[in-house]
Amino acid sequence: MEHYSLLREFADSWMLLALFVFFVGVIAWAFRPGSTSAYERTRTIPFRHDDKPMAPATGAPARTREPRT
C-alpha cells in the first residue's frame, strides 16, 4: 500500500502542476501572435470547393453536379 500512497501523492501535487503548465503552454501556443496566418489554410478546409467539386489530379475539368437544395 505504500507504493500506491506515494504515487497518489505525486499525482495529486506535482503531476497536477505539470499538466496544468502543459495545458497553459498549449493554449498560449495556439493563441500566440502570428498564429492566425499559420492556421488560416487549415481553418478553411471544410469550406473549400463549396460551389463545385474539386478538379481531379489529372488536370481534366471537374464534372458539374446538381445544385444543393
pLDDT in tens, 29-67: 888 888 777 777 787 777 776 666 666 666 555 555 656
Q: In 13-45, which positions are buried (b, 16+ CB within 10 angstroms) versus exposed (e)?
A: eeeeeeeeeeeeeeeeeeeeeeeeeeeeeeeee
Q: Give Cα 12 distance to the centre of its chain.
A: 28
Encode pLDDT of 6-17 as tens digits.
888 888 888 889
Residue 26 has pLDDT above 90, yes or no: yes
The answer to whether residue 25 scores a pLDDT higher than 90 is yes
Estimate the share of the chain in helix, then strand, then coil, as percent rounded to the nearest 5. Answer: 60, 0, 40
- Grid cell for residue 48: 473549400
Quote the pTM value.
0.50
